[in-house]
């Protein structure tokens, strides 16, 4: 942690955490990060939460489990520390739990001690949990949801049941938030019809909740994968009551349901990119191995709203552009369509009938210049 953050953390120590308002809380966790914040208030948080246990039901749809991995890779605090400090009960998480689905003659057998299918049903019946969804939800074919089946039922059916009883929903990762690569433009997009929890790409009317007619507050934590801090701090704020659901959501979230503190509407990744100085000097890399600005290699940082440049990844050590890879705007609702081709400058992308605005415009200007030359010759001759 740099000196500025240390000083800020030191200042926070003199403040009463429990009397901190939501704005100050978010400012504090945004500025010092989960590590410093949870470290500074460890005792207070634990004592404040001793009486409370928050259940989390974490469902996986069409996804790669990258977001769970990202969460598990969270450095300091790691997931165990966070669970301990926040007094969280991750009651159901398909990748982490010991239970598995057991079916005999097509019916779930045994008890929730061993059978995950029975466990999730019991948890849903009990209610009073935060539902975390990772992965997109298949609606196809023809609204049946059969393109994603877990156990003996569609994920759509399981999600519907879980969403109805949830006290709040967190859609973690771009797949759960907006559909992500599952609903990328393709020949099978329509038939598979994958949806995000509350959105399909930029369109909220096509979110799975709307499809099912369920009205629940949703917080989207996009990213491919989502940053562990984004997940933990949002969960932490919800659990600690620093985000009052649903009252605070309208002021906290942007129009795509993302917490503005992590996904600032008024700023892009480009603004705090470690390579930004090269952009300002007009120095661009033309191959992937350089150390200059990656814009001409298709970097989408000027279009991506996230605090990657400030927060960094891998324990605050690096981020995509710093490691040499152009930003692919994975936090945007239109991802990956809006970022494709990933390594082609946005201005060089074919827009209408494959036409590239840059080249078409240059051709038009060139043609006009040629016409001007021909015109000049003709008129000059005519004057002789």
37 vs 279 by CB, closer to other proteins? 279
Q: Could you tell me the smallest distance in angstroms from the CB atom of residue 224 to other proteins?
A: 15
Stretch 45-64 residues interacting with other proteins (CB under 8 A): none
Please, what is the end-to-end C-alpha distance for the chain in angstroms?
A: 78
Q: What element of type H or E holds 160?
A: helix 155-165
Question: Does the protein bind other proteins through residue 19 (CB under 8 A)?
Answer: no
Which of the ranges 62-70, 159-167, 173-181, 195-203 carries the binding residues for other proteins, by CB under 8 A?
Answer: 195-203
Among 10, 164, 244, 378, binds other proteins (CB under 8 A): 378
200 vs 216 by CB, closer to other proteins? 200
Catalytic (active site) residue 183 = no
Catalytic (active site) residue 175 = yes
355-356 and 350-352 beta bridge pairing: antiparallel
Cβ partners under 8 Å of residue 257, min gap 6: 171, 177, 198, 199, 218, 219, 220
Catalytic (active site) residue 338 = no
Point out the catalytic residue in the list 175, 183, 227, 305: 175
Q: Are 322 and 274 in contact (CB under 8 A)?
A: yes
Cβ partners under 8 Å of residue 56, min gap 6: 88, 89, 90, 91, 92, 93, 129, 130, 131, 132, 235
Among 279, 299, 308, 330, binds other proteins (CB under 8 A): 279
Which of the ranges 125-133, 174-182, 191-199, 340-348 carries the binding residues for other proteins, by CB under 8 A?
Answer: 340-348
Rounded Cα distance between 230 and 243, Å, is 14
Q: Could you tell me the smallest distance in angstroms from the CB atom of residue 135 to other proteins?
A: 22
Q: Are 130 and 54 in contact (CB under 8 A)?
A: yes
* Residue 357: burial class (beta carbons within 10 Å; 0-12, 13-18, 19+): middle
Question: Which residues are near other proteins by CB under 8 A?
Answer: 185, 201-203, 255, 265-268, 279-284, 293, 302-303, 329, 332-334, 337-338, 340, 346-347, 349, 351-352, 357-358, 361-362, 364-365, 368-369, 371-373, 375-376, 378-380, 383
Give me the active site residues, please.
Answer: 64, 67, 175, 224, 270, 273, 293, 299, 308, 320, 327, 330
């Amino acid at each position: 942690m740099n000196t500025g953050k240390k000083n800020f953390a030191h200042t926070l120590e003199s403040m009463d955490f429990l009397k901190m308002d939501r704005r100050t809380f978010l400012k504090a966790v945004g500025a010092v990060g989960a590590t410093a914040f949870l470290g500074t208030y460890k005792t207070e948080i634990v004592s404040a939460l001793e009486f409370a246990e928050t259940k989390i039901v974490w469902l996986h749809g069409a996804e790669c489990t990258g977001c769970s991995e990202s969460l598990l890779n969270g450095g300091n605090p790691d997931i165990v520390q966070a669970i301990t400090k926040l007094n969280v009960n991750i009651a159901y998480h398909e990748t982490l739990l010991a239970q598995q689905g057991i079916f005999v003659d097509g019916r779930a057998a045994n008890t929730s001690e061993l059978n995950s299918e029975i466990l999730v049903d019991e948890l849903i019946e009990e209610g009073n949990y935060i539902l975390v969804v990772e992965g997109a939800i298949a609606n196809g074919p023809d609204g049946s949801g059969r393109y994603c089946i877990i156990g003996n039922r569609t994920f759509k059916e399981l999600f519907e049941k879980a969403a109805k009883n949830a006290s709040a929903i967190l859609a973690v990762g771009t797949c759960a938030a907006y559909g992500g690569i599952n609903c990328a433009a393709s020949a099978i997009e329509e038939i598979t019809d994958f949806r995000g929890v509350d959105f399909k790409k930029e369109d909220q009317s096509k979110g799975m909740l709307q499809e099912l007619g369920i009205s629940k507050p949703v917080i989207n934590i996009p990213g491919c994968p989502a940053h562990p801090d984004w997940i933990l701090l949002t969960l932490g704020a919800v659990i600690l009551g620093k985000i009052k659901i649903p009252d605070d959501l309208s002021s906290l979230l942007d129009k795509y349901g993302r917490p503005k503190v992590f996904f600032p509407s008024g700023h892009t990744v480009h603004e705090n990119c470690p390579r930004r100085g090269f952009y300002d000097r007009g120095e661009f890399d033309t191959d992937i191995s350089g150390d200059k600005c990656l814009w001409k290699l298709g970097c989408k940082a000027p279009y991506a709203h996230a605090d990657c440049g400030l927060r960094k990844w891998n324990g605050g050590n690096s981020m995509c552009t710093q490691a040499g890879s152009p930003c692919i705007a994975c936090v945007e609702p239109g991802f990956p369509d809006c970022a494709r081709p990933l390594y082609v400058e946005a201005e060089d992308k074919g827009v209408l009938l494959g036409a590239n605005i840059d080249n078409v415009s240059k051709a038009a200007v060139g043609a006009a210049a040629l016409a001007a030359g021909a015109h000049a010759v003709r008129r000059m001759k005519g004057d002789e």
